[in-house]
Chain A
Amino acid sequence: NAGVTQTPKFRILKIGQSMTLQCTQDMNHNYMYWYRQDPGMGLKLIYYSVGAGITDKGEVPNGYNVSRSTTEDFPLRLELAAPSQTSVYFCASSTTGNSGANVLTFGAGSRLTVL
Protein backbone atom coordinates (compact mmCIF):
# COMPACT_ATOMS: atom_id res chain seq x y z
CA ASN A 1 0.00 0.00 0.00
CA ALA A 2 1.25 3.46 -0.89
CA GLY A 3 -0.85 5.15 1.84
CA VAL A 4 -1.13 8.92 1.28
CA THR A 5 0.82 10.27 -1.68
CA GLN A 6 1.49 13.97 -2.17
CA THR A 7 2.95 15.71 -5.19
CA PRO A 8 5.03 17.72 -5.74
CA LYS A 9 7.49 17.39 -2.86
CA PHE A 10 9.01 20.80 -3.51
CA ARG A 11 7.84 23.83 -5.49
CA ILE A 12 8.87 27.45 -5.85
CA LEU A 13 6.19 29.90 -6.98
CA LYS A 14 6.23 33.55 -7.86
CA ILE A 15 3.76 35.88 -6.20
CA GLY A 16 0.42 35.73 -7.99
CA GLN A 17 0.96 32.35 -9.62
CA SER A 18 -1.47 29.49 -9.12
CA MET A 19 -0.88 25.83 -8.47
CA THR A 20 -2.48 22.64 -7.22
CA LEU A 21 -1.05 20.32 -4.60
CA GLN A 22 -2.14 16.78 -5.31
CA CYS A 23 -3.11 14.25 -2.66
CA THR A 24 -4.15 10.65 -3.27
CA GLN A 25 -4.85 7.84 -0.82
CA ASP A 26 -5.38 4.17 -1.61
CA MET A 27 -6.86 3.07 1.73
CA ASN A 28 -10.49 3.85 0.88
CA HIS A 29 -10.61 6.39 3.69
CA ASN A 30 -13.65 8.67 3.76
CA TYR A 31 -12.06 11.50 5.74
CA MET A 32 -9.29 13.63 4.29
CA TYR A 33 -7.50 16.73 5.54
CA TRP A 34 -5.07 19.43 4.49
CA TYR A 35 -2.78 20.99 7.08
CA ARG A 36 -0.02 23.54 6.83
CA GLN A 37 3.02 23.48 9.10
CA ASP A 38 4.88 26.65 9.94
CA PRO A 39 7.99 26.69 12.17
CA GLY A 40 7.09 26.78 15.85
CA MET A 41 3.37 26.89 15.08
CA GLY A 42 2.37 23.26 14.89
CA LEU A 43 -0.07 22.20 12.20
CA LYS A 44 -3.11 24.27 11.24
CA LEU A 45 -6.10 22.77 9.44
CA ILE A 46 -6.87 24.37 6.07
CA TYR A 47 -9.75 22.25 4.73
CA TYR A 48 -11.19 18.84 5.32
CA SER A 49 -13.62 16.44 3.69
CA VAL A 50 -15.84 13.76 5.21
CA GLY A 51 -16.53 12.08 1.88
CA ALA A 52 -16.68 12.55 -1.88
CA GLY A 53 -18.51 15.75 -2.76
CA ILE A 54 -18.33 17.19 0.78
CA THR A 55 -15.74 19.70 1.94
CA ASP A 56 -15.53 22.18 4.81
CA LYS A 57 -13.26 24.95 6.00
CA GLY A 58 -10.74 24.49 8.73
CA GLU A 59 -8.92 27.08 10.80
CA VAL A 60 -6.95 28.82 8.00
CA PRO A 61 -8.86 28.44 4.68
CA ASN A 62 -8.24 31.89 3.16
CA GLY A 63 -6.32 31.77 -0.11
CA TYR A 64 -7.05 28.09 -0.72
CA ASN A 65 -9.70 25.96 -2.40
CA VAL A 66 -10.36 22.24 -2.44
CA SER A 67 -12.52 19.72 -4.23
CA ARG A 68 -13.34 16.08 -3.55
CA SER A 69 -14.76 14.43 -6.64
CA THR A 70 -13.56 10.92 -5.71
CA THR A 71 -12.82 9.07 -2.47
CA GLU A 72 -9.13 8.81 -3.41
CA ASP A 73 -8.23 12.39 -4.38
CA PHE A 74 -8.26 15.65 -2.43
CA PRO A 75 -6.36 18.39 -4.31
CA LEU A 76 -5.55 21.75 -2.72
CA ARG A 77 -5.61 24.78 -4.99
CA LEU A 78 -3.71 28.05 -4.43
CA GLU A 79 -5.17 30.67 -6.75
CA LEU A 80 -2.96 33.73 -6.17
CA ALA A 81 0.16 32.72 -4.32
CA ALA A 82 1.38 35.05 -1.59
CA PRO A 83 4.57 34.92 0.53
CA SER A 84 2.40 34.11 3.57
CA GLN A 85 1.61 30.77 1.92
CA THR A 86 5.23 29.67 2.12
CA SER A 87 4.91 26.56 4.27
CA VAL A 88 5.01 22.78 4.36
CA TYR A 89 1.67 21.25 3.45
CA PHE A 90 0.50 17.88 4.70
CA CYS A 91 -2.39 15.82 3.45
CA ALA A 92 -3.88 13.19 5.74
CA SER A 93 -6.70 10.67 5.72
CA SER A 94 -8.63 8.56 8.21
CA THR A 95 -11.34 5.94 8.17
CA THR A 96 -13.32 6.66 11.32
CA GLY A 97 -13.34 10.42 11.48
CA ASN A 98 -16.27 11.13 13.73
CA SER A 99 -15.38 8.74 16.52
CA GLY A 100 -12.89 11.25 17.90
CA ALA A 101 -10.38 8.46 18.44
CA ASN A 102 -9.47 8.10 14.79
CA VAL A 103 -5.88 7.90 13.66
CA LEU A 104 -4.74 10.07 10.78
CA THR A 105 -2.32 8.76 8.15
CA PHE A 106 -0.14 11.55 6.80
CA GLY A 107 1.62 12.05 3.52
CA ALA A 108 5.29 13.02 3.37
CA GLY A 109 4.55 16.68 2.79
CA SER A 110 4.93 19.31 0.07
CA ARG A 111 7.30 22.21 0.69
CA LEU A 112 6.10 25.37 -1.04
CA THR A 113 8.08 28.61 -1.30
CA VAL A 114 6.50 31.78 -2.66
CA LEU A 115 8.94 34.48 -3.77
Chain B
Amino acid sequence: GNSVTQMEGPVTLSEEAFLTINCTYTATGYPSLFWYVQYPGEGLQLLLKATKADDKGSNKGFEATYRKETTSFHLEKGSVQVSDSAVYFCALSIQNQGGKLIFGQGTELSVKP
Protein backbone atom coordinates (compact mmCIF):
# COMPACT_ATOMS: atom_id res chain seq x y z
CA GLY B 1 0.00 0.00 0.00
CA ASN B 2 0.85 3.68 0.00
CA SER B 3 2.40 5.25 3.08
CA VAL B 4 4.61 8.07 4.31
CA THR B 5 7.08 7.94 7.17
CA GLN B 6 8.58 11.03 8.78
CA MET B 7 11.24 11.44 11.41
CA GLU B 8 9.80 11.72 14.86
CA GLY B 9 9.67 14.99 16.69
CA PRO B 10 9.69 17.24 18.40
CA VAL B 11 12.72 18.90 16.87
CA THR B 12 14.15 21.84 18.79
CA LEU B 13 16.66 24.16 17.11
CA SER B 14 18.26 27.48 17.79
CA GLU B 15 17.57 30.36 15.44
CA GLU B 16 19.75 30.27 12.27
CA ALA B 17 20.43 26.54 12.63
CA PHE B 18 20.17 24.14 9.69
CA LEU B 19 17.02 22.08 9.46
CA THR B 20 16.46 18.65 7.98
CA ILE B 21 13.23 16.69 8.40
CA ASN B 22 13.40 13.25 6.85
CA CYS B 23 10.55 11.80 4.83
CA THR B 24 10.38 8.48 3.00
CA TYR B 25 7.48 6.98 1.13
CA THR B 26 6.06 3.75 -0.24
CA ALA B 27 3.81 3.98 -3.27
CA THR B 28 2.27 1.49 -5.70
CA GLY B 29 1.79 4.16 -8.35
CA TYR B 30 3.82 7.19 -9.35
CA PRO B 31 3.26 9.76 -6.62
CA SER B 32 3.40 13.50 -6.35
CA LEU B 33 5.02 14.61 -3.09
CA PHE B 34 4.16 17.49 -0.82
CA TRP B 35 5.18 19.26 2.35
CA TYR B 36 2.40 20.97 4.28
CA VAL B 37 2.86 23.19 7.31
CA GLN B 38 0.49 23.75 10.22
CA TYR B 39 1.03 26.81 12.37
CA PRO B 40 -0.44 26.78 15.89
CA GLY B 41 -4.22 26.90 15.87
CA GLU B 42 -4.49 26.87 12.09
CA GLY B 43 -5.26 24.46 9.29
CA LEU B 44 -2.63 22.99 7.00
CA GLN B 45 -1.22 24.96 4.11
CA LEU B 46 0.96 23.89 1.24
CA LEU B 47 4.65 24.64 1.70
CA LEU B 48 6.07 23.03 -1.45
CA LYS B 49 5.55 20.16 -3.86
CA ALA B 50 7.29 18.06 -6.50
CA THR B 51 5.56 16.00 -9.15
CA LYS B 52 8.33 13.92 -10.72
CA ALA B 53 11.69 12.39 -9.92
CA ASP B 54 14.58 14.85 -9.40
CA ASP B 55 12.19 17.81 -9.16
CA LYS B 56 13.04 20.26 -6.42
CA GLY B 57 10.25 22.10 -4.66
CA SER B 58 11.07 25.33 -2.85
CA ASN B 59 9.30 28.06 -0.95
CA LYS B 60 10.16 30.53 1.86
CA GLY B 61 13.74 29.21 2.04
CA PHE B 62 12.60 25.60 2.40
CA GLU B 63 13.41 23.03 -0.24
CA ALA B 64 12.97 19.33 -0.89
CA THR B 65 14.10 17.10 -3.76
CA TYR B 66 12.08 14.14 -5.07
CA ARG B 67 14.48 11.19 -4.93
CA LYS B 68 12.96 8.15 -6.61
CA GLU B 69 15.99 5.93 -6.03
CA THR B 70 15.80 6.38 -2.27
CA THR B 71 12.01 7.03 -2.15
CA SER B 72 12.66 10.16 -0.14
CA PHE B 73 11.57 13.80 0.00
CA HIS B 74 13.55 15.35 2.84
CA LEU B 75 12.75 18.93 3.87
CA GLU B 76 15.66 21.33 4.40
CA LYS B 77 16.23 24.94 5.33
CA GLY B 78 19.58 26.59 5.73
CA SER B 79 18.72 29.02 8.53
CA VAL B 80 15.53 28.63 10.55
CA GLN B 81 13.69 31.46 12.25
CA VAL B 82 11.44 31.51 15.30
CA SER B 83 8.52 32.07 12.94
CA ASP B 84 9.20 28.63 11.38
CA SER B 85 7.96 26.94 14.55
CA ALA B 86 5.12 24.71 13.37
CA VAL B 87 4.20 21.12 12.57
CA TYR B 88 5.42 19.87 9.20
CA PHE B 89 3.66 17.09 7.29
CA CYS B 90 5.02 15.11 4.38
CA ALA B 91 2.34 13.73 2.06
CA LEU B 92 1.84 11.93 -1.23
CA SER B 93 -0.89 11.72 -3.81
CA ILE B 94 -1.37 9.16 -6.57
CA GLN B 95 -2.81 10.11 -9.96
CA ASN B 96 -6.41 9.03 -10.67
CA GLN B 97 -7.19 8.22 -7.06
CA GLY B 98 -9.46 11.15 -6.29
CA GLY B 99 -6.69 13.50 -5.25
CA LYS B 100 -6.48 11.97 -1.80
CA LEU B 101 -3.45 12.93 0.26
CA ILE B 102 -1.72 10.33 2.41
CA PHE B 103 0.10 11.99 5.28
CA GLY B 104 3.02 11.16 7.47
CA GLN B 105 2.60 11.58 11.21
CA GLY B 106 3.94 15.11 11.30
CA THR B 107 7.08 16.58 12.84
CA GLU B 108 6.86 19.39 15.33
CA LEU B 109 9.57 22.01 15.00
CA SER B 110 10.34 24.48 17.76
CA VAL B 111 12.87 27.23 17.07
CA LYS B 112 14.32 29.08 20.05
CA PRO B 113 15.75 32.61 19.84
A108 vs B40: C-alpha distance when bound (angstroms) = 10
Query: Are B96 and A98 in contact, CB atoms less than 8 angstroms apart?
Result: yes
Indicate whether A50 sits within 8 Å of B98 (C-beta atoms), given known contacts A42-B89, A103-B49, A109-B43.
Answer: yes
Closest residue of chain A to B104 (Cβ to Cβ) is A42
Interface size class of B (residues with CB under 8 A): 20 to 34
A97: which of B29, B30, B34, B98 is its contact (CB, 8 Å)?
Answer: B98
Residues of chain B within 8 A of A94, CB atoms compared: 99
Residues of chain B within 8 A of A97, CB atoms compared: 98-99
B49: which of A44, A45, A58, A101 is its contact (CB, 8 Å)?
Answer: A101
Query: Are A31 and B98 in contact, CB atoms less than 8 angstroms apart?
Result: yes
Query: Are A96 and B100 in contact, CB atoms less than 8 angstroms apart?
Result: no
- Number of A positions contacting B (CB below 8 A): 30
Indicate whether A31 sits within 8 Å of B99 (C-beta atoms), given known contacts A100-B31, A100-B94, A102-B93.
Answer: yes
Q: Which one of B30, B100, B102 has the greatest number of beta carbons of chain A within 10 Å?
A: B100
Query: Are B43 and A100 in contact, CB atoms less than 8 angstroms apart?
Result: no
Residue numbers of B with Cβ under 8 A of A are 4, 29-32, 34, 41-46, 49, 51, 89, 93-106
